[in-house]
Amino acid sequence: MTQLALVIDLNVCVGCHACVTSCKQWNTSGWSGPLTDLNPYDEDPTGTFYNRVQTFESGQFPDTETIHFPKSCLHCEDPPCVPVCPTGASYKRDEDGIVLVDYDKCIGCKYCSWSCPYGMREFDEKQKVMKKCTLCVDRIYDRNLPEEERKPACVLSCPTSARIFGDVHDPNSEASLAIRERGGFALQPEWGTNPANHYLPRRKTEIRIHEDELVRADNPLKKEGVPEAAEGQTLDDVMSW
């Protein structure tokens, strides 16, 4: 049985959010309808996104690294959001394994959101229905598009090719090869949901930073002719010259 999914390479994701904006653009104007942003910037933002990128820093200065972690619906092979839906609005397609929501049946009860261990369900405040990543199902089967463009919007927009789309049940697909040969892993397998989406781990790199590299070469005080502070002096001491 076919299982379409994304394989995300954490080693080359640069956190540019191109996947986020392209997803928003395509799905707002496409099959999914509006992805409402009633209050996107305030203290308590309200917005609907299928794809989000979480960024965090690990380590201790100066030996730190920034990690970007894209997250969207994982299209689980045993999705817990499906059996809890009282109206059958959440369902998993037999032909490609994509988990979708039938908006005509959804009553916005949020049971699917509570059952998803990954927090990947979104409630659209305007339409009052639950929404989620569809793998751009309306795009990948659109025969009016060239074959090379029949991919999710996030895959096409990624500038570093950090996203691979394909059938993870096909052992010869690019997605399966990446998982098998590059240590691909599923997110939180202990939940028993068998996520179809996988991640490729970051490769361990060692960055050596020397003391002189912690001093700015383009120090603006040097350009203005201000002498450097001696040991024990503050900037105020230097500026009083």
Task: Write out residues in the chain with pLDDT < 70, as ranges.
Answer: 29-34, 40-41, 45, 205-241
Q: For residue range 2-33, what is the model confidence (pLDDT) as tens digits?
A: 999 999 999 999 999 999 989 988 888 655 56
User: What confidence score (pLDDT) does residue 124 get?
Assistant: 87
Structural domains present in the chain: 4-200 (3.30.70.20)
User: What confidence score (pLDDT) does residue 63 get?
Assistant: 77
Would the pTM of this model clear 0.85, i.e. be above it? no
Q: Position 173: which residue type?
A: S
Strands 90-92 and 99-101: antiparallel
What DSSP string describes 1-66? ---EEEEEETTT-----HHHHHHHHHHHHSTT----EEESSSSS-EE--SEEEEEEEEEETTEEEE
Contact 101, 129 (CB under 8 A): yes
User: What confidence score (pLDDT) does residue 35 get?
Assistant: 74
User: What confidence score (pLDDT) does residue 222 get?
Assistant: 61
The dihedral of CA 125, 128, 129, 135: what is its sign? negative
User: What confidence score (pLDDT) does residue 230 get?
Assistant: 61
